[in-house]
Chains A and B, each alone.
Chain A
Amino acid sequence: MLWIALHCPTLSLDWIERRFPAALIPAMAATVRKGNQVYIQQANKPAQQRGVMAHQPLASALSLFPDLVVVENDPNEEMKALQEAAYAALRFTPHISMQRSGLIAEVSGSLKLFGGLKKLCQSLNQAAAAQGLQLCVGIAPTSKGAWLLAQSAPLRAVINGASTRFRLLLDSLPIHLLESAQPHLEVIRGIGCKTLADLQRLPRSGIARRFGPDLPTELDRAYGDSPDPQLWLEVPEYFQQKIALMAQVESVELLSVTVQRMIEQMCGWLSVRYAAVLGFSFVLHHEYSLRQPHKSTLLNIRLSEQSDNPEHLMILLRERLDRIKIVAPICGLELIADEITAEGNHNLELFPTSQSEATSLNRFIEKLSCRLGPQAIAGLNIIPDHRPECSQRLQPFQPLEASKANNFSCRKTILEGSSHPLTRPAWLMDTPLELRMQRQQPIYGSPLKLLAGPERIEAGWWDDALITRDYFIAENELGQLLWIYREHDPIAKSNGWYLQGLFG
């Protein structure tokens, strides 16, 4: 077993700071109540610069800096922030246990996939830190040991105890890190115990009698001498994450960090459920008032192919967010995974194959339709009709599967029928262009010379779009080959020539 513990010493401030857009974080301090006195527990950087310090009474802090934003210690919100970080970390291992101020992840099964302990530790740390927490990391063969090491580490540092030095490292840790020693710290210090090694040297039965049975058990668990059952984090059946922002935001750019976090959480949740998302909704909540009736803006994003890749989902969402108009200041965000599918076995491929090409094609289409709108991108479907206007239809592009492509030859014969292919130009005009006439000759750039024709197309009597036309191939002096027609109408003898297409 190998454990990575992430300890967040500044959690009481981090949970609230992460709800601000990074540029708008004010001077803040978290408070804790001791008896009838309120003390500063932690102060953030801007507050510290004003002289606000931990363990100060609130009153003296406020006298130093009256505009200090005071946040009361809120274990519920802290837990929620931790849980969100845990969701993001779930991408790396399904075994995560929650602590009061951090996470412990069991990673022995993930080492190979993520390229070794060092890389895994880095990515895990980054994933959790990207959720807006400041972390210290401990690595150890026991969960308790890793947790103690993480607690002893300075901010943003990693202590690696996964080697033979594990027991030595543990020996040197101070006693006050042990949870069960908290009520007896005075006494323990009084009998001359400073480190875990000192405590280990004392007789077991005596420790249990004096300080309760929990202390020796905790010590044994840390050293790996007794079993340590874990309560793993369990994820809900549905993913719906809501974040209330601490500022009124009117620009999408300020939101991008928060949005990225939510997407990462969803992807962690997806990987634990071994699923991928096919469609998700993103809701921007607005401050509601009588003057401002917009409660929320809903973005539905559908994928043409399931995905659990945070970068891809983020690109899609960002393209959509860039295009919308923000009607009112945003005070909250919500992400819901609407449609989930069991994930297909996506193997990592060394060389591009038709499968990976189809995936990238789908991604390309999604990206384009997010930015340009779905109507900008189309395939053309052939319809068996002789009228050029009706012979093809724009439709959403359907990537061709390999199995279908095989019947290409038999499809060809159907298209062509039994006879030889008809002469058709590569380009069609949007609408037939009426040609100017000069001395009864049609002109397109220069007078046209007829090369071949006529071919009569007479069709459409069944749907009120009757055409009776004589088609000719013509050439102008530039060398363009044109497909032109003249209405064949024996009664109304119109002489107009129309340009229908160009031979590319």
Chain B
Amino acid sequence: MSTLVSSSLASPLSLLQIETQFGDRIWRGDALGSSPDQVVSSGFNELDKALPGGGWSTHSLTELLLPAEGLGEIRLLNQSLKYVTQSGRNILLINPPHIPYMNAWENLHIDSRRILTVRACKPAERLWVIEQGIKSGAFGAVICWLSDANPQAMRKLQIIARTTASLVFLFRPVSAQFEPSAAPLRILLSPARRHTLSIRLLKRRGTPVVLPIYITLPQIRPFSSPVIPIPILAPA
């Protein structure tokens, strides 16, 4: 102890020396945080670049704030969910807002036989199901639509999520952005133009991002026939 003090008094280490000495154990606040955990690529280059570690990180919560369903949230997760089922793991959907239409999910190359849906009406039960789903370690991805969760519950979920290598996505309403949350990654989704999603990273490990990221979702293939004018819609 005394030698350490005397040496540091004699000649304080320069920043460069400190960095070479301690190497990867130091994380500089202005750099993008790297994730020690395994990540799953989101399939969108612009988004991967902005996410710590270069993709959706396992072992932690990802909060997606969504103003309404049908904005392309499933297409956003498409690549990672496809990866999960193709690597032989299952997906747990807790309280999906509507019935998932498996034909469409199959079109996105997500194996519908690996999707398990759970309906839990009470908020306490919902949290319990998420906990059990993460703890069981049987799912590659746990996705929950969580309208209300207090910060304590989120903290608990985050601690549990640290234990297993699952992707955990929580879809929450936009109003939740003003509540504190223990999730290390919080993303606000909003539509920009048609087939474009604006992504604002509210919170991430690393420097904050001010500007939203725009990603182009895979186009929904139009019907084989071209759009024909609809006479009924024209004002009479």
Interface of A with B (CB < 8 Å)?
352, 354, 357-358, 360-361, 363-365, 367-368, 371-372, 376-382, 388, 391-392, 397-400, 402, 405, 408, 412, 415, 420-430, 439-441, 445, 450-455, 471-473, 475, 478-482, 486, 495, 501-504
Given the known inter-chain contacts A372-B125, A392-B102, A454-B228, please indicate yes or no for A427 contacting B90, CB distance below 8 A: no
A430 to B101, CA, bound (A): 11
Q: How far is the CB of B140 from chain A (nearest CB, A)?
A: 9
Q: Which of B66-84 contact A (CB under 8 A)?
A: 67-75
Q: Closest CB-CB distance, B60 to chain A, in whole Å?
A: 18
Shortest Cβ gap from B94 to chain A (Å): 10
Partner of A426, one of B74, B222, B235: B74
In whole angstroms, how far apart are the Cα atoms of A358 and B89 in the complex?
9
B interface residues, how many (CB within 8 angstroms) = 62
Which A residues are CB-close (under 8 A) to B114?
Answer: 400
Please list 13 pairs of residues, one from A and one from B, whose beta carbons are closer than 8 Å in the complex, sorted by A's number: A367-B132, A368-B129, A376-B118, A377-B119, A380-B102, A388-B101, A392-B102, A424-B103, A426-B104, A454-B225, A473-B223, A479-B190, A504-B73
Q: Which residues from chain A contact B86 at a C-beta distance below 8 Å?
A: 408
| Identity of the chain A residue whose Cβ is nearest the Cβ of B228 in the assembled complex | A454
A360-B103 Cα distance, complex, nearest whole Å: 28
Q: Is the CB of A481 within 8 A of B137?
A: no
Q: Which residues of B contact A482 (CB under 8 A)?
A: 70
- Rounded to whole Å, the gap between the CB of A324 and the closest CB of chain B is 18
For the complex, what is the distance from the CA of A362 to the CA of B116, rounded to whole Å? 12
- Check A455–B225 contact: CB distance below 8 A: yes
- Is A378's CB under 8 angstroms from B117's CB? yes
Main secondary structure of the interface of A (DSSP, over half): mixed
B105 at the interface (CB under 8 A from A): yes
Quote the shortest CB–CB distance from B89 to chain A (angstroms). 7
Residue contact B103 to A391, C-beta cutoff 8 Å: yes
Residues of A within 8 A of B220 (CB): 423, 473, 481, 503
- Chain A residues with Cβ under 8 A from B117's Cβ? 377-380
Contacts A361-B139, A452-B223 known; list 11 others, CB within 8 Å.
A358-B138, A364-B132, A372-B118, A376-B119, A377-B117, A380-B112, A392-B101, A400-B111, A451-B194, A453-B228, A504-B104
Contact of B236 among A426, A440, A471 (CB under 8 A): A440
Asked if B233 is at the interface (CB within 8 A of a chain A CB), the reply is yes
Contact in complex: B101, A424 (CB < 8 Å): yes
Say yes or no: A480 contacts B132, CB within 8 Å: no
B3 within 8 Å of A (CB atoms): no
Task: Please state if B104 and A480 are interface contacts (CB–CB under 8 Å).
Answer: no
Docked pose: A294 CA to B173 CA in angstroms: 49
Select which of A376, A382, A439 is within 8 A of B102 by beta carbon.
Answer: A382
